[in-house]
Amino acid sequence: MLRLITFIIALIWSFPALAQSEADIQIGLSDETVAITSSFDGAEIVVFGSVENADENLLKQDKYDIVVTLSGPPKRVTVRKKEWKFGIWVNGDERSFVGVPSSYAVATTRPLDQITQAKDLKILEIGFDNLTLRQQAVTAEPQPETQTSAETDQAEEDEDLDSFRRSLVRLKASQGLFVRGIGDIRYLSPTLFKATLRVPANVPIGHHRARAYLFADGEFVTTRSVLLNVRKQGFEQAAYDLAHRNGLLYGIIAVLVAMATGWLASVVFKKD
């Protein structure tokens, strides 16, 4: 009996919250696959979505915010830092990170810091700086320089790691693989929206995940995701697949193509 009463009280208490969190989000892609062909030079991915069961009041006040992210297949990435040695710049210190999204695009209705608090973004892993970039467990034998590492305190190592992490993000951004687009989400109607995300020509192939987050008045409500398949098509795919599955045969074909070209050239230009 007591249990039932507490349950009812709890239900009544949580009712406003329930009513609010009823809002939901649904998304779909303009294309479920991105085909990389010979003319591929990057593409624009359009994510359509709708806010369902939206609170009329919040809608009128423009209090709903949406963030759409598109992240590429996770990979292991090694970041290397050049050092001045023997008069030239050589790759020295390095850190490896696992589970790094090979590409990452964010589209938002407003700047992220206006949508919600930093700690929520951190928890939800939204934004370049909030991605979990875990360092790969160090297995390698200690290098000559790191002999003093026992004495280096943890803080220094953390700071080092952080500079590598920041560089990873900066380099990915400079390669066009990490993209952020504030205002790349437009409302087509009060509840229908369209997010445009750019994938560059060097987009990694594989399954990319498009994820939409709904925020109401600064609070995270819900999230949905769909998969996007990026793959090479036609000749590009055949060439890539062959090179990676049967490199020997690919190499032999490459040689035959070269011989044919060389022979053709000697025939065409022989009379000249």
Counting other chains too, the contacts that 261-270 makes at CB distance below 8 Å and 24 or more residues apart are none
Return d(Cα 125, Cα 245) in angstroms, integer. Answer: 35
Does position 168 bind another protein by CB under 8 A? yes
Task: Select the span of 18-26, 145-153, 216-224, 262-270 touching another protein (CB under 8 A).
Answer: 262-270
Does position 151 bind another protein by CB under 8 A? no
CB atoms inside a 10 Å sphere around CB 97: 21
Q: What is the DSSP string of 92-134?
A: EEEEEEEEEES-EEEEESS-HHHHS-HHHHHHHT-SGGGS--E
Return d(Cα 177, Cα 202) in angstroms, integer. Answer: 8
Burial class (CB in 10 A: 0-12, 13-18, 19+), 256: exposed
Return d(Cα 133, Cα 168) in angstroms, integer. Answer: 9
Provide the minimum distance between the beta carbon of 149 and another protein in the complex, in angstroms, as a whole number: 19
> Taking CB under 8 A as the criterion, which residues in 22-51 touch another protein?
36-42
Q: Largest Cα–Cα distance of the chain, in whole Å?
A: 105
Task: Select the span of 3-11, 107-115, 214-222, 244-252 touching another protein (CB under 8 A).
Answer: 244-252
Provide the minimum distance between the beta carbon of 257 and another protein in the complex, in angstroms, as a whole number: 6
Site mask for another protein (CB under 8 A), range 177-216, x = bound: ---------x--------------xx-x------------
- The answer to whether the CB of 259 falls within 8 A of the CB of 252 is no
Return d(Cα 9, Cα 12) in angstroms, integer. Answer: 5
Say if strands 219-232 and 206-216 run parallel, antiparallel, or are unpaired: antiparallel
Closer CB to another protein, 42 or 111, in the complex: 42
**Position of tokens 């290397």?**
80
Site mask for another protein (CB under 8 A), range 56-95, x = bound: -------------------xxxxxxxx-x--xxxxx--x-
Does position 134 bind another protein by CB under 8 A? no
- The answer to whether the CB of 179 falls within 8 A of the CB of 105 is yes
| Interface pick for another protein out of 171, 182, 192, 227 (rule CB under 8 A) | 171
Q: How many residues bind another protein (CB under 8 A)?
A: 60
| Interface pick for another protein out of 1, 5, 12, 248 (rule CB under 8 A) | 248
Closer CB to another protein, 63 or 194, in the complex: 194
CB atoms inside a 10 Å sphere around CB 28: 13
Does position 122 bind another protein by CB under 8 A? no
- The answer to whether the CB of 58 falls within 8 A of the CB of 217 is yes
Does position 161 bind another protein by CB under 8 A? no
Closer CB to another protein, 121 or 230, in the complex: 230
- The footprint of another protein (CB under 8 A) covers 36-42, 75-82, 84, 87-91, 94, 96, 164, 167-168, 170-172, 174, 186, 201-202, 204, 232, 235-237, 239-240, 243-244, 247-248, 250-255, 257-259, 261-263, 265-266, 269, 272
